[in-house]
Amino acid sequence: MSAHTIDSAELAVGDIVAERTVHLTRESLVRYAGASGDFNPIHYRDDIAASVGLPGVLAHGMLTMGLAAETVVPWLGDAGRILDYGVRFTRPVVVDPDAGADVTVQGKVLALDEEFVTIDLSVTAADTAVLGKARLRARRG
């Protein structure tokens, strides 16, 4: 992993600035439902998920988007540096009632100049990309 800080002149395109794997359980989904106010039952009821044709109970897309961004916040040092952040929800994260699900995030420098850096977030579960074009642009100063 790159040891370069966000304001380092050594920071370069392709540097990996942060990575982690987050283990999600059904409790994680209930906790996010309560914190966010999103009580769509496909995120906690197997019978309803099955009735609408889903492969299982899914993590909230916004939970995945949220934990992905937070992977790089310690490297940014200040969440207030973030100017914009966007994702496409491409594949669902199925959370097994026993085994849960592992979501792996890697943040890599996609572009930079003296003032700004764009981080591309690779976000995968079960070896499949679950977010597309997950990009976060931040101030370097």
Query: Among 1-9, 11-19, 69-77, 111-119, which window interacts with another protein (CB under 8 A)?
Result: 69-77
Length of the chain: 141
Using CB under 8 A as the binding rule, whether residue 18 contacts another protein is answered as: no
Q: Residue 105's closest CA among 68, 134, 77?
A: 68
Binding positions for another protein, 93-132, rule CB under 8 A: none
Nearer to another protein, 4 or 20 (CB): 20
Helix (H) or strand (E) holding 32: helix 26-36
Distance of alpha carbon 63 from alpha carbon 72, whole angstroms:
15
**Secondary element (H or E) of residue 64:** helix 61-76
**Binding of another protein at residue 73 (CB under 8 A)?**
yes
Residues that bind another protein in the complex, under the rule CB under 8 A = 22, 28, 31-32, 34-38, 40, 52, 61-63, 65-67, 69-70, 73-74, 77-80, 82-89, 136
